[in-house]
Amino acid sequence: MSAIPLSQVAIRLRPEDDVAVAKSNLKAGTTLHWDHSPITLRSDVGRGHKLALRDIPDRSPVRKYGQTIGFARGPIRAGDHVHLQNVEARSFQRDADIGTEVVPLPAAGPDEVRTFEGFPRPDGRAGTRNYLGVISSVNCSASVSRYVADRFKGPDLARDFPGVDGVVAFTHKSGCAMPDDEPTRLLQRVLAGVARHPNISGWVLLGLGCEVNQVERLVRDQGLATPDGTPRVLNIQTHGGVARTVDAAASAVRSLLPAAAALRRSTLPVSRLALALNCGGSDGASGITANPALGFASDELVRRGAASVLAETPEIYGAEHLLTRRAARRDVGEKLLALIRWWEDYARLHNASIDNNPSVGNKAGGLTTIYEKSLGALAKGGQAPLSAVYHYAEPVSSPGLAFMDTPGYDPVSMTGLMCGGCNVGVFTTGRGSVYGCKPMPCIKVATNTTLFDWMRDDMDLNAGTILDGSETVEEVGRRIFEEILAVASGKRTRSEVHGIGDEEFAPWILGPLF
């Protein structure tokens, strides 16, 4: 059998890379033609997995994306499958210069102005959805909050109040038996972020009455107020138990419906959007297809004055130096590096290692080390300068590309981005995440065509066409950009069609449990 050109079955991302990524499943014994010489595969290589293009000595760096993704554990020969069995993550020096590679994006010209149909809010932000929220201050009021929201399920709400997308209960597992300092302040910031979210036009706050996270204090400390200046706050103990509280809270929600239903979408500039960037269930194609395509779309939004926010601090680990080089100011780069040091200390405190990622599914999809995963994840941020770094759920207050400190766990990460004010999200996946995030619509992009075809009912877009060779990164990026505008204007995502998003609210819980 004649040798197959490498470019037909695999992708080499950078000239200096030691590996290529298989576009499809390759069998042992297959001969590939590359660099004027044949390479015979010494074992099977799955789609998204790596094959060695040259011999790599023991303990030498293994390069992909032109960067170190790990170190050889024993000699690696050309044609070997490069993965867990012969690559390990080890500490190595990364040149985290700040601001040395800042290249401003060209501003959009007059002929590139784009708009969407959204809900203008009094504070200048814009809603892409129109929900009412029932917010629980503590897990002890979680069931009551759900009972209230359940009263507004079914066809009656859509019939009587067609402009309202729904009533959502925001419940969690915290709120008491916790330190009354940073853990409580973080939870309050999260819950206030829900109440202030541009996709929430009204809210009711429910507590038990004896918890650490007192509802009256939350309203006071976070400066929460409804448009009429009267916070709708109820405690179960004060109202005489579950049934009475449900009745009172449901009545409060009902009083909010007419004003919410009266709101109408209007034409707004793209600069009113704040995009949440996330990836989950990643595979070896994520950093080649969906993530860089999303990065292109992110840049298109930033060029037009919008905000776009990266997150998942443990999943930029090993690639943070590439982001600090794009920091628009020294304090921005230093803040990001301080977060990396915090996570290293946090991992040591719990006898863990920050490089214990990727997950089981990531590894099955071809990702070998956290460095490889991070380099691919970073592509979601495109090429824009890094303009700001935010703490978890901190309000996103300026345009441009930003970074928010969140764990890598997808529901917790997306909860922080949503509570920071992001009003639309894009979530890339190679293994098949079905995540939804009410009240923020979440567009899911498949990294490979096999996944898109298999889970077509759950995926909004297919970026696997890049791997297939039928589209470029820019072409898919433009499709993602257009989908963001359509969804921001009211088009329902696949997760919204399935009703997913009521159970996924997951604040980051800090500190010990007393």
Please compute the mean of the pLDDT values over residues 366-375 and round it to a whole number: 94
Q: What band does 129 get if pLDDT is binned at 50, 70 and 90?
A: very high
Structure confidence by residue, pLDDT tens digits, 436-481: 999 999 999 999 999 999 999 999 999 999 999 999 999 999 999 9
pLDDT at 408: 94
pLDDT at 357: 66
What three-state secondary structure class fits 386? strand
Neighbours of 29 (CB within 10 A): 12
Please compute the mean of the pLDDT values over residues 225-241 and round it to a whole number: 85
Please compute the mean of the pLDDT values over residues 57-66 and round it to a whole number: 97
Q: What band does 96 get if pLDDT is binned at 50, 70 and 90?
A: confident
Statement: residue 366 has pLDDT above 80: yes
> For the chain, what percent of residues have pLDDT higher than 90?
92
Please compute the mean of the pLDDT values over residues 38-43 and round it to a whole number: 95
Query: Helices then strands (H, E): number in the chain?
Result: 17, 24
pLDDT at 507: 98
pLDDT at 126: 98
Statement: residue 2 has pLDDT above 80: no
Is residue 162 classed exposed, middle or buried when 0-12, 13-18 and 19+ CB atoms within 10 A define those classes?
A: exposed
- Residue 473 in contact with residue 466, Cβ under 8 Å? yes
Query: Rounded to whole angstroms, how far apart are CA atoms 147 and 68?
Result: 52
Neighbours of 424 (CB within 10 A): 27
pLDDT at 37: 83
pLDDT at 259: 94
Q: What band does 204 get if pLDDT is binned at 50, 70 and 90?
A: very high
Strands of 199-314 (E only): list them: 200-207, 233-235, 266-269, 274-279, 307-310
- Give the residue among 242, 252, 247 at the shortest CA–CA distance from 204: 252
Query: Rounded to whole angstroms, how far apart are CA atoms 427 and 54?
Result: 35
pLDDT at 228: 65
Please compute the mean of the pLDDT values over residues 65-88 and round it to a whole number: 96
Q: What band does 36 get if pLDDT is binned at 50, 70 and 90?
A: confident
Please compute the mean of the pLDDT values over residues 194-217 and round it to a whole number: 97
pLDDT at 512: 84
pLDDT at 78: 96
Please compute the mean of the pLDDT values over residues 163-184 and round it to a whole number: 96
* Distances 29 to 44, 256, 364 between C-alpha atoms, Å: 8, 68, 22
Please compute the mean of the pLDDT values over residues 135-151 and round it to a whole number: 98
pLDDT at 496: 97
Q: What band does 227 get if pLDDT is binned at 50, 70 and 90?
A: low
Return all residues near 73 (Cβ < 8 A) that are at least 6 apart.
58, 59, 85, 86, 87, 88
Single-letter amino acid, residue 439: P
Please compute the mean of the pLDDT values over residues 25-37 and round it to a whole number: 92
Q: What band does 231 get if pLDDT is binned at 50, 70 and 90?
A: confident
Element (H, E) at 39: strand 37-40
Please compute the mean of the pLDDT values over residues 217-241 and round it to a whole number: 87
Statement: residue 356 has pLDDT above 80: no
pLDDT at 373: 94
Tell how strand 10-11 and strand 19-22 pair up: antiparallel
Please compute the mean of the pLDDT values over residues 31-49 and round it to a whole number: 93
How does DSSP classify residue 241? S
Statement: residue 147 has pLDDT above 80: yes
Q: Long-range contacts of range 464-470, CB-CB < 8 Å, 24 or more positions apart?
A: 464/285, 464/289, 465/289, 466/288, 466/289, 466/293, 467/11, 467/23, 467/285, 467/288, 467/289, 468/23
Query: Rounded to whole angstroms, how far apart are CA atoms 100 and 318?
Result: 18
Q: Long-range contacts of range 353-360, CB-CB < 8 Å, 24 or more positions apart?
A: 354/314, 354/317, 355/89, 355/317, 355/318, 357/314, 357/315, 357/317, 357/408, 358/282
Query: Rounded to whole angstroms, how far apart are CA atoms 447 and 289?
Result: 6
Structure confidence by residue, pLDDT tens digits, 257-285: 999 999 999 999 999 999 999 999 999 99
How does DSSP classify residue 313? G
Please compute the mean of the pLDDT values over residues 327-354 and round it to a whole number: 93
Please compute the mean of the pLDDT values over residues 354-360 and round it to a whole number: 76
Dig out the tokens for 184 from the structure.
């409580």
Q: What band does 350 get if pLDDT is binned at 50, 70 and 90?
A: confident
- Give the residue among 167, 254, 176, 168 at the shortest CA–CA distance from 215: 176
Flag whether the pTM goes above 0.85: yes
Structure confidence by residue, pLDDT tens digits, 286-311: 999 999 999 999 999 999 999 999 99
